[in-house]
């Protein structure tokens, strides 16, 4: 499902580029691994740096963490190209919306 989110995001967001379906699969695997390894650490660091405000605004903090992990994935993979942090932030929002929508559709069936 994550690879579909990458592919759809690249289709609707002009500064977010994935190299084909195979690229989307590779990028999704790398993003998932990085999110698992680093996502919680970045989330905790942002929560502490913002003096706990980051923990209260979990949605905003999670979106920023996903944008940071997207930029790290962009740096490590030749299959993903993001034109700036703004596009990474928009990409994180679009991917989150696609994931939420797909989970809602799966629950209906």
Chain segment 44-86, per-residue pLDDT in tens: 999 899 988 888 899 999 999 999 999 999 999 999 999 999 9
Domain ranges of the chain: 2-108
User: C-alpha angle with apex 11: 20 to 83, nearest 5 degrees?
Assistant: 85
pTM of this structure: 0.92
- pLDDT recorded at residue 55: 84
% of the chain beyond a pLDDT of 70: 100
CB 74 within 8 A of CB 80: yes
CA 72, CA 70: separation in Å to the nearest integer? 5
CB 17 within 8 A of CB 10: yes
Question: Average pLDDT of the chain?
Answer: 94
User: Which residues make Cβ contacts (< 8 Å) with residue 1, sequence separation at least 6?
Assistant: 99, 102
- pLDDT recorded at residue 46: 93
Q: What is the pLDDT averaged over residues 3-30?
A: 96
């Amino acid at each position: 499902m994550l690879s579909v989110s990458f592919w759809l995001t690249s289709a609707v967001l002009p500064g977010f580029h994935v190299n084909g379906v195979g690229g989307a699969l590779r990028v999704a695997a790398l993003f998932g691994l990085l999110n698992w390894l680093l996502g919680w650490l970045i989330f905790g660091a942002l929560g502490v740096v913002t003096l706990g405000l980051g923990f209260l605004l979990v949605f905003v903090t999670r979106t920023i963490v996903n944008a940071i992990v997207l930029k790290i994935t962009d740096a490590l993979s030749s299959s993903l190209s993001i034109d700036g942090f703004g596009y990474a932030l928009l990409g994180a929002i679009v991917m989150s919306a696609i994931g939420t929508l797909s989970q809602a559709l799966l629950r209906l069936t």
